[in-house]
Structure 1
Amino acid sequence: MPEATQERTIEAAADAAIKLSRPRDLYIDRLRSIMTAFVILHHTAITYGAIGGWFWYELKPSRAISSQVLIQFCTINQAYFMGFFFLLAGYFTPASLERKGYGAFLRDRFTRLGLPLLGFILILGPLTAAIAHAADTGRFWEVFPYLAQHFILIPGPLWFAEALLIFCLAYCGWRAMFGAPLAGAERTPRPVPSAGIWLLSALLTGIGAFAIRQFIHVGVNIASLQLGYFATYIVLFAAGIAAWRYDWIRQLNWNNAKTAIYAGAIALPLMPAGVAVAQITHSKGDFAGGISWHAALYALWEPFVAWGFIAAWLLFMRRFGNQPSAFWSWLNRRAYAVYIIHPPILVGITILLHLWTAPALVKFAVTGTVSCAICWLIADPLVRMPGLRRIL
């Protein structure tokens, strides 16, 4: 039997054995679909008045109530939802590495992460920018030579694939040098960390973010990555790896998560309160970074809110979202494709609805809902194509 065929046979047999020995946590797949929908809604909110980077803006951030509501929506999302993706990615990484080995694991990661990143940079990013430019100027095609001549790369939301690929490479390196040998490290359940560990880890993560933001403010891209947010991302990716190794997610319950949830609830209003104080007092300081109480508040606020929201989502979905469902299976299978393709679709729908006169929050709700539905429908044939099936 050829070596490649034998490798695929062994991998398929291992997959089947794992599925038979341990039922799949359906709610985790559903959480990824929900967070994908939140990514679309997040970018829709930026379109209609929230703060953030995006391809096309219908309304700029302002003191209007609608804008302030959308800003708070995006601020809360940013605190936890991308970190949640990294946590879940970390959770599935050790088993995949041990099952496939270093070579097959890295080939799979470059296929599923590197190729979509490349595809967005070469096709979807320029396409989305051209759609937005055409809406402003009526000129579509001039964007493509401009981007090529100026060597402008647009990874868009696929910065996540870039970062995750780096994290996976780092984990493989760490595992090869310091970790347990492959196929020799089994899951060894340990108690979920205590409330004190949850709070201490949030505090230290906030301090780490504050330190990073002395040099790289939030909103500054280094190789298309906003490193000002990466303290939380790194900690949650590592926590996901540990959660798989010690079976923490399965053991998570109200008693060992309630402190983090309460702390997140207490912290939640502190950021908008801080912004209000800064506006009223006209105090000088940048929430994005530097040495000021503004930057310290934002850096420390994020992980406490993130830990609370993530714990709450895990408990809620395990309780109410873990029953078999053909519809959820359909959504879950297409969620990654939706994440990749949503920018040009969302921008196109936003432009089509531009002349519709309605309150910003109404347009946000309608555009976001329609975009989610259309993205999933367009993703459906993509995941069925032989050439794309393995990637998406």
Structure 2
Amino acid sequence: MTTATVPFHAAPGRPAALSPPARAVWIDRLRACLTGLVIVHHAAITYGASGSWFFKATDETNIGLTFLAAVNQAFFMGLFFLLSGALAVPSLDRKGPATFFADRALRLGLPALLFGFLLGPLTVSLATAPMEDILADAQARILEGRFVLGPLWFPAALLVFSTVFAALPRPVVSRLQVPPFKHWIALALATGLAALAIRQVVPVGATVAGFQLGYFASYVVLFALGIRAARQGWLDRLPRGGLVGAVAAGLVALPLLPAVLLASEAPRFETGLSAAAVAYALWEPLIALGAIAGLLLWSQARGGRAARVWGWAAANSYGAFVLHAPILVAVCRSLDAVGTSHGAALPLSIVATTLAAFGLTAVLRRSALVRQVI
């Protein structure tokens, strides 16, 4: 998740509006916005969306926030994997396998360990301990060596993906045309079927070594797709018509899952082959297809606008991702302690956490040693 410095070069005949600038500002823009969506997602769970998080301010389920979280879940981490796969290609080509792996181990493995042994236990204490005992509770958890992976499952998984990628032979790839729209629909449906198969063994919400494997079909597909797209130069020549078609497909699919769930009695979508489970597995990749296409359209069409601002945000986005959990929990618990209504606390917690996480990262990154990691 380091700042993109390797441009994707525009292909002849590509519409000018979608031609990425030399610093790949559109990637900076997406990475910063996706980190913001991570904060939004966890704040939504805090205040009523279904899902697992360190601190929940209410036991009541908010249908609107749950739907927001479901839509977000369908694409936001997958797009992180897509961009990571695309950026891994020039990095591996430039550094070679050994240096590439060492760099990934430092930038991905070390933050996961630091969070797991320090920030993770602190976050648990912030969420569960009496206010006056938080520091003592956190110290006890840290000294006991209680490892809490939390949201740092992403760099941990990305380290595994990157290791496999570096170990594979690098093929000589001939430049092919961007696949037609129907191929993307077929890939989305195939990904959904793969997710459905995995969920018969590992249901949605179940974790294995900190990883929710029920969602990993799309992560593997999108990471591999990012690699293929970078090798083929597809990201420079995605046809506007295909992107618009993908957005339309996502919008058509959007109401289908709620319709199936409302029509089902006591729907169970986490596992099994019920209508709800099948609908959820196929709905997610279609939503991802539409959302990712829409974000690509938006980000690339804005060209190099506010490049310096987005460059700063992208440079600090990984650190903000690493730091956001204890900050968000502390902010939400503080708002809860003073009796802030949930309707007001949700936007306040998002804004405060975003500013604090990005700002603290910017301060920490003044150190050259910290910049080598985040």
TM-score normalised by the chain length of structure 1: 0.87
By how many angstroms is 1:92 displaced?
Answer: 0.7
Structure 2: distance between partners of 1:277 and 1:147? 47
Match of 1:60 in 2: 59
Q: Residue 165 of structure 1 is aligned with which of 145, 150, 159?
A: 159
Does residue 1:363 correspond to 2:345, yes or no?
A: yes
Seen in structure 2, the aligned counterparts of structure 1 residues 143 and 326 have a Cα distance that, compared at 3 Å, is closer
Structure 1: distance between partners of 2:258 and 2:34? 23
Seen in structure 2, the aligned counterparts of structure 1 residues 42 and 374 have a Cα distance that, compared at 3 Å, is same
Match of 1:112 in 2: 107
Q: Contact between 1:130 and 1:144, CA under 8 Å: does it hold in 2?
A: no
Structure 2: distance between partners of 1:323 and 1:55? 37
Structure 2: distance between partners of 1:135 and 1:273? 42
Does residue 1:243 correspond to 2:229, yes or no?
A: yes
- What does residue range 310-321 of structure 1 map to in structure 2 within 5 Å? 310-320=292-302
Match of 2:321 in 1: 339
By how many angstroms is 1:307 displaced?
Answer: 0.7
Deviates more, 1:364-373 or 1:301-310: 364-373
Match of 1:41 in 2: 40
Seen in structure 2, the aligned counterparts of structure 1 residues 348 and 20 have a Cα distance that, compared at 3 Å, is closer
Match of 1:5 in 2: none
- What does residue range 1-392 of structure 1 map to in structure 2 within 5 Å? 23-62=22-61, 67-135=62-130, 138=133, 140-146=135-141, 149=144, 152-175=146-169, 179-180=170-171, 185=172, 189-278=175-264, 283-320=265-302, 322-392=304-374
Structure 1: distance between partners of 2:257 and 2:354? 29
Counterpart residue type for residue 325 of structure 1: A
The one-character-per-residue Cα deviations of 1:242-296 (angstroms, maximum 9, x if unpaired) are 1101111110132122222111111111122222223xxxx24421111211111
The one-character-per-residue Cα deviations of 1:188-241 (angstroms, maximum 9, x if unpaired) are 543211111011001100000000000100111111100000000000001100
Larger-gyration structure (1/2): 1
Counterpart residue type for residue 77 of structure 1: N
Counterpart residue type for residue 219 of structure 1: G
Seen in structure 2, the aligned counterparts of structure 1 residues 21 and 208 have a Cα distance that, compared at 3 Å, is closer
Counterpart residue type for residue 90 of structure 1: G
Structure 2: distance between partners of 1:197 and 1:20? 23
Q: Contact between 1:202 and 1:303, CA under 8 Å: does it hold in 2?
A: yes
Counterpart residue type for residue 31 of structure 2: R
Seen in structure 2, the aligned counterparts of structure 1 residues 363 and 95 have a Cα distance that, compared at 3 Å, is same
Counterpart residue type for residue 271 of structure 1: L
Seen in structure 2, the aligned counterparts of structure 1 residues 349 and 388 have a Cα distance that, compared at 3 Å, is same
Q: Contact between 1:79 and 1:303, CA under 8 Å: does it hold in 2?
A: yes
Structure 2: distance between partners of 1:350 and 1:321? 36
By how many angstroms is 1:170 displaced?
Answer: 1.2
The one-character-per-residue Cα deviations of 1:144-190 (angstroms, maximum 9, x if unpaired) are 545765x6421111100111011011112222xxx32xxxx47x543
Structure 2: distance between partners of 1:226 and 1:347? 21
Three-state SS of the structure 1 residue aligned to 2:200 is coil
Counterpart residue type for residue 44 of structure 1: A
Counterpart residue type for residue 362 of structure 1: A
Structure 2: distance between partners of 1:38 and 1:118? 23
TM-score normalised by the chain length of structure 2: 0.91
Seen in structure 2, the aligned counterparts of structure 1 residues 319 and 119 have a Cα distance that, compared at 3 Å, is same
Seen in structure 2, the aligned counterparts of structure 1 residues 140 and 274 have a Cα distance that, compared at 3 Å, is farther
Counterpart residue type for residue 198 of structure 1: W
Match of 1:4 in 2: none
Seen in structure 2, the aligned counterparts of structure 1 residues 321 and 345 have a Cα distance that, compared at 3 Å, is farther
| Long gaps (5+) in structure 2 | 11-21
Counterpart residue type for residue 101 of structure 2: L
Match of 1:6 in 2: none
Structure 1: distance between partners of 2:266 and 2:43? 30
Seen in structure 2, the aligned counterparts of structure 1 residues 57 and 110 have a Cα distance that, compared at 3 Å, is same
Structure 2: distance between partners of 1:153 and 1:159? 12
Counterpart residue type for residue 277 of structure 2: A
Counterpart residue type for residue 42 of structure 1: H
Three-state SS of the structure 2 residue aligned to 1:305 is helix
Structure 2: distance between partners of 1:368 and 1:192? 38
Deviates more, 1:215-224 or 1:165-174: 165-174
Seen in structure 2, the aligned counterparts of structure 1 residues 390 and 143 have a Cα distance that, compared at 3 Å, is closer
Three-state SS of the structure 1 residue aligned to 2:178 is coil
Identity level (%): 37
Three-state SS of the structure 1 residue aligned to 2:157 is helix
